[in-house]
């Protein structure tokens, strides 16, 4: 049987097929890029931290009492004067919790409270100042004649008559017991202290205060 004859066109087709097999490119390989991976991880972490911060901010808010209208010192507090608000507030301010709002009704404002201001435990009082049988006397006390630590309303103090500069102390200095009502600062740096004293001692204390020769002694806060 005669061998098959391979024609020239067949040879060319065979060579073309072999060439195409050699030149066919393999599929591209994807390379991992660490920088992109790290960036993705960073985005996830930032999102998690933001969510944690938002959750913490929300859970840190508390319901406290605020003044719906301006309350002047000595004014009797009515339920309509108060409102409960949810805010983030420093517990060191001693705000009155919203759950205790009804306990404030009938009490008096110990300080001026602006509308929208928080109501703190120090801002309310069971009675009016000055109380019956007492008077409030204002003192202007220079530096060194009042404790460097802040005086607070309710502090028990003694007002001591000083002999003045370069004068000898003759006997026991006169003193008047008092309760601090309010403390502010004057432009010249002196402390302005309002104190409550018995009516019988008010005139004498006012006369001493007018001379500028008084000092304030803070007694123990332990009760």
Model confidence over 30-53: pLDDT tens digits? 555 666 666 666 666 666 666 655
pLDDT digits (tens, 9 = 90+) for 12-32: 655 555 555 454 555 555 555
Exposed e or buried b for every residue in 26-41, given b needs 16+ CB within 10 A? eeeeeeeeeeeeeeee
> What is the DSSP code (8-state) at residue 76?
B
Average confidence (pLDDT) over 208-217: 90
CATH code at 62-125: 3.90.1210.10
Detail the DSSP E strand segments found in 68-155: 82-87, 108-109, 124-125, 134-141
pTM recorded for the entire structure? 0.48
Give 94's Cβ-side CA count (13 Å radius).
Answer: 5
Residue 193: which pLDDT band, with cuts at 50, 70 and 90? very high
Give 200's Cβ-side CA count (13 Å radius).
Answer: 1
Q: For the chain, percent helix, then strand, then coil, each to nearest 5?
A: 30, 25, 40
């Amino acid at each position: 049987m005669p061998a098959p004859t391979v024609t020239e066109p067949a040879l060319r087709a065979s060579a073309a097929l072999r060439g195409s097999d050699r030149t066919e490119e393999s599929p591209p390989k994807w390379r991992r890029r660490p920088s992109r991976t790290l960036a993705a991880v960073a985005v996830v972490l930032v999102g998690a931290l933001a969510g944690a911060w938002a959750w913490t901010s929300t859970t840190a808010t508390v319901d406290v009492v605020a003044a719906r209208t301006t309350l002047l010192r000595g004014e009797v507090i009515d339920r309509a004067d108060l409102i409960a608000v949810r805010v983030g507030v420093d517990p060191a301010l001693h705000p009155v919790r919203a759950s205790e709002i009804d306990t404030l009704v009938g009490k008096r404002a110990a300080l001026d409270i602006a509308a929208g201001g928080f109501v703190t435990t120090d801002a309310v009082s069971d009675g009016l100042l000055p109380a019956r049988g007492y008077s409030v006397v204002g003192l202007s006390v220079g530096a060194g004649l009042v404790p460097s630590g802040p005086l607070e309303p309710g502090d028990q103090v003694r007002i001591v008559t000083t002999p003045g500069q370069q004068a000898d102390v003759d006997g026991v200095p006169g003193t008047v017991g008092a309760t601090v009502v309010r403390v502010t600062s004057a432009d010249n740096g002196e402390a302005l202290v309002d104190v409550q004293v018995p009516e019988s001692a008010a005139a004498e204390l006012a006369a001493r205060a007018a001379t500028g020769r008084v000092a304030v002694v803070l007694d123990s806060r332990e009760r």
